[in-house]
Amino acid sequence: MPSHLLRLSAGARLIGVAALCWLAVMPATAQSPVPGWQAQTAPPPRDAAGPANPAAQQVPPNTTIVPRSTGGARLPGGATGAGQVSLTALLTDDGQNIEQGLVWRIYRVGQGPEKPSLVVQHREPSPTLRLEPGSYIINVAFGRAHLTRRIVIAPEQAGQERQERFVLNAGGLRVTPVLANGEAIADRIVTYDIYSDERDQYGQKTKVVNAIKTGVIVRLNAGIYSLVSTYGDANATARADVTVEAGKLTEATLSHAAAKVTFKLVTRAGGEAMADTQWSVTTLRGEPIKDSVGALPTHILAPGNYTALARHSGQQLRRDFSVRAGDVVQVELVMP
C-alpha cells in the first residue's frame, strides 16, 4: 500500500486512507472543469447530411470536420488543406485508454490578443478531427482532472494523420465522515470542499470543488489536496490533507467532534416552546456562529463555549452554555 502524506489541523483526525485499484470506467461523479478562457459559440460536432461534394464520402467514420475560421464552411472530405488528428486519454502512462466520462474541448487560437474560440466539443472517448492549418488548444476533462495542450497543424502537414495521447495522471478521492466515537454520520448533512496545494495571488489555497456529498468519488489530478468537511449548518468542521495518486482511489475517513443542540424559549421551565423566536448563537466574545428563527431550532456545533440570544415580542434573553463532543442537549431560556 502506498504511503500518503497527511497533515491534520487541530481538532480533526484522519482515521484512515487506503489506496485501491481505480478503474477508468467508473461512472462520472463531478462536473467537468471550465477552462481558463471564455468559450464562444461552437458549431455542431458533425453534419449527418454532409456536403454535396461526393469527395465527402472519403471522410473516415466518426470524424469531425472543424469549419474554417473564415466563412464557416466545412472542408470537403477530399480537401488537402486539413490534417487529421486522433485523440486518446489515459489515467496513467502505462494504463489503458479511458472509455467513458471524458469531455474534449478544441479551441482555435486567433491572431493577436483575441481569446481562443471554442470550435468543437466532444464526449466521445477517442474522437478524430479534421483541422485546417493553424494553432489549436485541446483540453480534456475527466471529472475534475484535466489536461490542456497546444498543437499546431502546419500547411505542409495537410492530409497527414497524427495521434495525440493525453496522460491525465488522475486518481479518485472518496470521503466518509464519522463521529468521534466511530459512528457513521448521515450523508445528507455532511459536505466537503477540496482545495489544491496551489496558491492564489492572496496566498490562499485554490478551491477545486465545493459542497461535495460524502461517498461520492471525485476525479482529480494526482497531487496533494486539503479537505474541509462541514457537519451540519454551523461550525462543526474537520480538516485534513491527503495525497491522490494516479490510477488509484484514495479513501479518506474524517472524524467530526460535534454536539447536537436544540434551542427552546419558554414562559416556565419545561413549558411549551414559543414560536416566532429569533435566535443567535455566538462565541462568548460575541463572534457570530449561527442565526435562525423558530420554536425549536437544532444546530450542530463544535465543542466549546457559546452564548444563546433569544428575541421575542420585543424582549431579549441571553444564556451562556458549553457543549462537548457527542452531546445531544437542549438549551432552554425562560422568559421572566
**Confidence at residue 60, expressed as pLDDT on a 0 to 100 scale:** 59
Angle at 274 (CA atoms; ends 273, 280), nearest 5 degrees: 95
Report percent pLDDT > 90 for the chain: 65
The whole-angstrom separation of Cα 305 and Cα 116 is 54
Residue listed under C-alpha cell 474560440: 117
- Condensed to tens digits (0 to 9), the pLDDT of residues 246-299 reads 999 999 999 999 999 999 999 999 999 999 999 999 999 999 999 999 999 999
Report, in this order, helix, strand and coil percent for the chain, each rounded to 5. 5, 50, 45
- Predicted local confidence at residue 204, as pLDDT: 87
Using a CB cutoff of 8 Å and minimum separation of 24, what contacts does 309-317 make? 309/279, 309/280, 309/281, 309/282, 310/263, 310/265, 310/277, 310/278, 310/279, 311/277, 311/278, 311/279, 311/280, 312/265, 312/274, 312/276, 312/277, 312/278, 317/265
What pLDDT is attached to residue 203? 83
Average pLDDT, the chain: 81
Residue 181's pLDDT is what?
86
Q: What is the pLDDT of residue 155?
A: 87
pLDDT at 9 over 70: no
Q: How confident is the model at residue 182 (pLDDT cuts 50, 70, 90)?
A: confident
Q: Residue 31: pLDDT band by 50, 70, 90 thresholds?
A: very low
State in Å, rounded, how far the first CA of the chain is from the last one.
63
**pLDDT attached to residue 45:** 40
Residue 117: predicted pLDDT: 93
pLDDT of residue 51: 40
Give me the pLDDT at residue 187, please: 73
- Look at residue 159 in the predicted model and tell me its pLDDT: 79
Q: Is the pLDDT of residue 165 over 50?
A: yes
Neighbours of 67 (CB within 10 A): 17
pLDDT score, position 81: 65
Cell of 262: 436544540
At residue 65, the pLDDT reads: 66
Written as one string, the DSSP assignment of 106-121 is EEE--STTPPPEEEEE
E-strand stretches of 9-115: 13-21, 63-65, 83-90, 102-108
For residue 334, the model assigns a pLDDT of 95
Residue-wise pLDDT tens digits, 104-151: 999 999 877 788 999 999 999 999 999 999 999 999 999 999 999 999
What is the set of domains in the chain, with CATH numbers? 7-23+170-256 (2.60.40), 54-167 (2.60.40.2190), 259-334 (2.60.40.10)
Q: Could you give the percent of the chain with pLDDT greater than 70?
A: 76
State pLDDT tens for residues 192-248: 999 998 888 888 899 999 999 888 999 999 999 999 999 999 999 999 999 999 999
Residues 50-101 have pLDDT tens digits of 343 433 435 555 666 666 554 333 433 444 468 899 999 999 999 999 999 9
Give CA 196 to chain center in angstroms. 11
Closest residue by Cα to residue 275 from 234, 240, 248, 310: 310
**How does DSSP classify residue 58?**
G
The reported pLDDT for the residue numbered 15 is: 40
